[in-house]
Amino acid sequence: MKRTFDCVEFCKALSDPTRQQILEMLLEKEMSVNEIVAAFSVSQPTISHHLELLYQAGLVLRRKDGKQILYRTDDQQVYFCCGKLIAKFSPADK
């Protein structure tokens, strides 16, 4: 599977507490936007904005299911990115 990696984009995607929580939630289960909204105290457009950002960074996957859009964390990609991060800043890997 071909993957791209932009280390700054990856870290920016994780540099907000709401996005980190979303990503963590979506590790466990696929959820619709409304379900995610229900778990936070910010508006639906704000959640959609965070989801779009995570999607652009390649950290979540999404699919349409009727009226809903279901999101889930791309845990393989997240793992891949964490590996790249370690490789960049801990090359010796003590």
Partner DNA sequence: TTTATATATAGAAATATATCTATATGAAAA
Partner DNA sequence: TTTTCATATAGATATATTTCTATATATAAA
> Min. distance of Cβ 88 from its own copies in angstroms?
7
Residues 27-46 that bind DNA (CB under 7 A): 32-35, 37, 41-46
Can you say how many angstroms the Cα of residue 36 is from the centroid of all Cα atoms in its chain? 13
CB closer to DNA out of 71 and 94: 71
Member of 23, 26, 51, 78 binding DNA (CB under 7 A): 51
Nearer to its own copies, 8 or 67 (CB): 8
Residue 16 vs 24, nearer CB to DNA: 16
> Exposure string (b/e) for 27-52, b if CB count within 10 Å is 16 or more?
eeeebbbeebbeeeeeeeeebeebbe
CB of 32 to its own copies, least distance (A): 21
Interaction of residue 17 with its own copies, rule CB under 8 A:
yes
- Please answer whether residues 62 and 74 qualify as being in contact, where contact means their C-beta atoms are separated by less than 8 angstroms: no
Q: Is residue 76 involved in binding its own copies (CB under 8 A)?
A: yes
Task: For residue 13, give Cα distances in angstroms to 2, 8, 66, 87.
Answer: 20, 9, 28, 19
